[in-house]
Every structure is written in structure tokens, then in C-alpha cells.
Amino acid sequence: MIRINLSKVLGEERLTQARLARETEIRPNTISELYHELVDRVNLNHLDKICEVLGCDLSDILEYEPNEKSTD
């Protein structure tokens, strides 16, 4: 599973979703969907803008977490 850690990064930077939306010129609804991990697809240009504004690496925003294996 891919985790989106935008909420964690914004908290560490003390940056609001609204401010990130303004600085990246990404729609506030899109930022909110990323923040709450409600997306199935991510626009690479959006990730580029977010990393640029936050001064972070892509690995700070996205994280791979192995799926739990079922024991059925």
C-alpha cells in the first residue's frame, strides 16, 4: 500500500492546506484529498510542486508499506 504523508509533513512545517494550495497553485480540494489520503491517482506535476514548495523529497510525501498477507 502506498501511504501519503502530506498531513505529517504539513504538521512538521506548520503549514496549512490553504497556504500550500496557494503556493503550489493546486486546487484546495486536491490538496485536501491528498492530505486525507482519499486519492487513487496522483498527478506527478502536483507532487513536483508540493516537493518544491515544502523543500522535501518525494520519499517524505509518499511511502510504500507492504500489504498485510492474509492467512486464509
- Strand locations in the chain (E): 2-4, 62-64
* Each residue's pLDDT tens digit, 12-67: 999 999 999 999 999 999 999 999 999 999 999 999 999 999 999 999 999 999 98
3-class DSSP state for residue 11?
A: helix
Look up the CATH superfamily of 2-64.
Answer: lambda repressor-like DNA-binding domains (1.10.260.40)
pTM over the 0.85 mark = yes
The residue among 38, 22, 27, 23 whose CA lies nearest residue 6 is 38
Residues 67 and 1 sit within 8 Å (Cβ to Cβ): yes
What's the gap between Cα 40 and its chain centre? 12
Residue ranges of the domains in the chain? 2-64
The residue among 25, 28, 17 whose CA lies nearest residue 52 is 25
